[in-house]
Amino acid sequence: MEQQGLQELFGRNGNGPLSGVVVADFSRVLAGPYATMMLADLGATVIKVEGPTGDDTRHWAPPRREDDATYFLTANRNKHSIVLDLKEPDDLALAQELAQRADVLVENFKAGGLAKYALDYDSVQATNPGIVYASVTGFGPNNPQPGYDLLIQGLSGFMSVTGSAETGPVKAGVAIVDVFTGLHTTVGILAALAHRKDTGQGQLVETNLLSSALSGLANQTSAYVAGGVTPQPMGNEHPSLYPYHPIPTAEGEIIIAIGNDNQFRALAKVLGHPEWAGDDRFAKNADRNDNRAQLEPLLVAALSEKTNQEWFEILSAAGLPCAPINTIAQGVELAAELGLDPVAEAGAGERVIPTVRNPIGLSETPVSYDLAPPQLGESTDLVKQWLRSGEGSAR
């Protein structure tokens, strides 16, 4: 089946850069599904294989939108759901056939967990040598311990630098490690597809939550690896920049993010204290870091004269990076005011679901939102029809 025919069969209307690529999605929860949704948004045909009770996140509620858990809706638009019980011989045969026909396979079973079904990389690659096989684990391919985002936030050190001395370690308000890992997995898959286009060779792509967390900790991990420094919790403050944190005003707090000495001079002038920029304690970033205790009360006193919204307008007009602390609702509303269209309706007909817009803009091959997050097993018959037809992928 040619690319256009495959797109029509599976209800995709766009001309995304991955149009015609078939993804067998054996992942669940967030890291894997987030990666496969990125691929689906870019035009890939993603067939989500679910067990009889479905992806765990179908049951992670509240909140809900009618009968759907919003957690599931987060990472599953533009996909087709097929229900297969891998313990049943007929269903397992269909799963193996899907793996043989796919261009990409994504799985996040426990390390080695798919070998007993002959759905591990070696087994699939033996019959589908062009397969790009992405395996997402908690701790790497040699450790079968299950990995959950919260566990990795604790084990990686993430929580140790997210809290403060008063609060103790604090987790992020979102499964940030899963999102890191999903994005890393997407990048790995795209790189492998580019390699396959040039050589015809598939390959194994491996990511794990712990490594993604350490990479995502960026300057904090580098402080230890390159500098021998173990970062400590600093609450909302930054280890290398000051001021770079929320500061109280007459009403509410205002985040001020000063990244260089020129910005600090401008801030001092706007606050009515240009002399701060000539003070040896504050003139240079290193000096401000060393003298936080002296500068903080001066900033608080100056900012106490107006509300956070008033300062937001004044400082923004002066070109200084600042922000009030919004709710999620206010963040979405701000994006809408800025013309970023943060909400994209996915699907058509009777099932249309508002979802968060993919942040990638492509001038020639834009992302599409053809399919709402699927109801459990809604495409089982369609996928079986395609498998039995013997047409299309693997390429």
Catalytic residue set: 178
Residue pair 153/212 in contact (Cβ under 8 Å)? The answer is no
What is the per-residue burial (b if ≥16 Cβ within 10 Å, else e) of 235-263? eebeeeebbbbbbebeeebbbbebeebeb
Q: Are strands 253-257 and 322-324 parallel, antiparallel or unpaired?
A: antiparallel
> Of the candidates 95, 154, 150, 149, which has an alpha carbon nearest to the alpha carbon of residue 127?
95
Q: What angle do CA 43, 45, 47 make, to 5 degrees?
A: 145
**Structure-token pair, residue 332:** 């979405």
| DSSP H or E run through 43 | none
CA gyration radius for the chain?
Answer: 25
Q: How far apart are CA 196 and CA 308, in angstroms?
A: 53
SS3 48: strand
- Whose tokens are 């533009």? That residue is 78
Amino acid residing at 258? I
Cβ proximity of 374 and 25 under 8 Å: no
Please tell me the distance from the alpha carbon of residue 189 to that of residue 204, in angstroms, as a whole number: 9
Cα angle, residue 30 at apex, residues 29 and 33 outer, rounded to 5°:
95
